[in-house]
Amino acid sequence: EPEVTQTPSHQVTQMGQEVILRCVPISNHLYFYWYRQILGQKVEFLVSFYNNEISEKSEIFDDQFSVERPDGSNFTLKIRSTKLEDSAMYFCASPTGPNSPLHFGNGTRLTVT
């Protein structure tokens, strides 16, 4: 079964630092998503990315966040100046085909100290 791969699995950073989370989504699909889950809470939508552009973003996805597809395969989520409340699991997701469910990566656990 095709996989969504995320790196690193765990990132610890100090408040105010920039972090970049990386994802290699299932290839040949144009839609990619980032979600996050704060410990013990629900999985929340952050942003969707279609054809190299942001197509939709949530209220959480403020100016501190950005997404890029730097080289046609990797898909990154950048947080410019991390805050304590950014500590969460961040998941990348993509569909396996048209009208198919999203497959999620195993996530990056971000800890902001």
Partner 1 sequence: DQQVKQNSPSLSVQEGRISILNCDYTNSMFDYFLWYKKYPAEGPTFLISISSIKDKNEDGRFTVFLNKSAKHLSLHIVPSQPGDSAVYFCAASDPSGTYKYIFGTGTRLKVLA
Residue from 7, 20, 44, 68 in contact with partner 1 (CB under 8 A): 44
Cis peptide before 8 (omega within 30 of 0): yes
CB of residue 87 to partner 1, shortest distance in Å: 15
Distance CA 6, CA 103 (A): 12
Q: What is the 3-state secondary structure (H, E, C) of 11-78?
A: EEECCCCCEEEEEECCCCCCEEEEEEECCCCCEEEEEEEECCEEEEECCCCCCCEEEECCCCCCEEEE
User: Of 11-19, 61-69, 77-85, 101-109, which part binds partner 1 (CB under 8 A)?
Assistant: 101-109
Binding of partner 1 at residue 91 (CB under 8 A)? yes
DSSP secondary structure letter of residue 98:
T
Binding of partner 1 at residue 103 (CB under 8 A)? yes
User: Of 11-19, 62-70, 76-84, 105-113, which part binds partner 1 (CB under 8 A)?
Assistant: 105-113
Residue with tokens 């989520």: 77
Residue from 22, 29, 31, 68 in contact with partner 1 (CB under 8 A): 31
Question: What residue ranges bind partner 1 (CB under 8 A)?
Answer: 4, 6, 31, 33, 35, 41-45, 48, 50, 55-56, 91, 93, 101-107, 109
